[in-house]
Amino acid sequence: MTPGSIGSVAGLRIAHLIESDGPGGAERVVAQLATTLQAAGAHNVVFLPADGEGWLASELDGSGVAIEHFRIERPLSVACARGLVAAFRRHRIALAHSHEFSMAVYGGWASWRVGVPHVITMHGSRYYAGRPRRRLALRAAIAASSQIVAVSDPLARAISEDLWVRRSRVAVLANGVRYTAPERVTLRDELRLAPDDRLLVAVGNLYPVKGHAHLIDAVAMLAERHPTLHVAIAGRGDLAEALLAQARNRRIGHRVHLLGLRADVAAVVAAADVFVMPSLSEGLPLALLEAMWAGRPIVASNVGQVAVALRDGEVGELVEPGDPAMLAAALHRVLKDPGHARRLGDGAARRARAEYDITRMVGRYVELYQQSPGGRAACHAIDSFTTRPAR
């Protein structure tokens, strides 16, 4: 398969399952994967929670992707499992692809009952490891599935160690994005910044794991050396008031701008002098890839697959997570040297075009589908599903 191609998926009937439908990274991957496959001729059904936010459903609107809803009413919902089986049969699903822990378990069981290949993708959190029951359930789901995918090498190692799964059993498949350059970039005007003001941009919901508190500390350390420096953070979450209070306490309240949830992420990123990702844990965040596509100089925590994306610091500054002083030093290096910043941004854009296009990600998943036991047959003989006996 050549770079940028998807392969033959005409007629393939795929179920995509995810437990949440808010504006998160995993949900965006599901939206891009399903819509790209749909445009390539596959029939896609996305399974979403009945009591969800509706964000992912709205992203799929008008794409031709079908939507089904499920409801998990208790830790072990037999009704949910049976509902998935019935929906798989109704839609003549030939392959199921589940994202994250809960749907890995339910999707794995439903796929086994219907007799179709099942693929699991884990996106970056080890929350499954906190309880023995969860570890056992996910291990069983993996055993019943054709493929298990992690979006980063560290997550693949963690899955192997946490669940006593052979490392060779866990594939690593990088995320990709569908990047379109924004027609209008208005953020600096919205914030009423002067022409010589410098702007850092971070994208991520306001949770502790995203490390925004460390970014605010770093900006405070830079205040004297960079008196026109501002930071804008796009995302929502419970820490908004705490972060604003921290900024006021550090005497940089006027420099910290919380943007809330933004639909124009590409335009927000394009407004940045430097894109910052101060996370304490990640897989391969889509916002980072979008900043690379946009050619922004990047300073990012060395977590997950970030070092691989940035070529071990060749096309972006890497810092240890949770270290505001190190973050401030890296930001200072980029801010004080326009040539260095330009080289980083240009290198990141070349890297993004070579490795992180949406069609490359989808093409790799199609290869994975075809490598699954029964997957190639599913891709080329879909109609046989109607005569396959159900277990």
Cα-Cα-Cα-Cα dihedral of 55, 60, 65, 71, to 10°? 0
For 338-378, what is each residue's pLDDT tens digit? 999 999 999 999 999 999 999 999 999 999 999 877 555 54
Rounded to whole angstroms, how far apart are CA atoms 155 and 283? 7
Query: Model confidence over 167-200: pLDDT tens digits?
Result: 999 999 999 999 989 999 999 999 999 999 999 9
Q: How many residues does the chain have?
A: 391
Mean residue pLDDT across the chain? 92
pLDDT tens per residue across span 97-145 = 999 999 999 999 999 999 999 999 999 878 788 889 999 999 999 999 9
Amino acid identity, position 185: V
- d(Cα 294, Cα 154) in Å, to the nearest integer? 26
CATH classification code of 13-178+357-387: 3.40.50.2000
Domain with CATH 3.40.50.2000 in the chain: 13-178+357-387, 187-355
With a CB cutoff of 8 Å and minimum separation 6, the contacts of 136 are none
Report the DSSP pairing between strands 317-319 and 298-301. parallel
CATH of 187-355, one of 3.40.50.2000, 3.20.190.10, 3.40.50.10260, 3.40.630.30: 3.40.50.2000
Strands 198-203 and 229-234 come out as parallel
Question: How is residue 163 written in tokens?
Answer: 């669940």
pTM for this one? 0.87
What tokens does 145 get? 């599935």
Cα(8)–Cα(5) distance, integer angstroms = 9
CA torsion sign for 97, 100, 104, 106 is negative
For residue 148, the SS3 value is: strand
Determine the Cα–Cα distance for residues 179 and 288; give it in Å rounded to an integer: 12
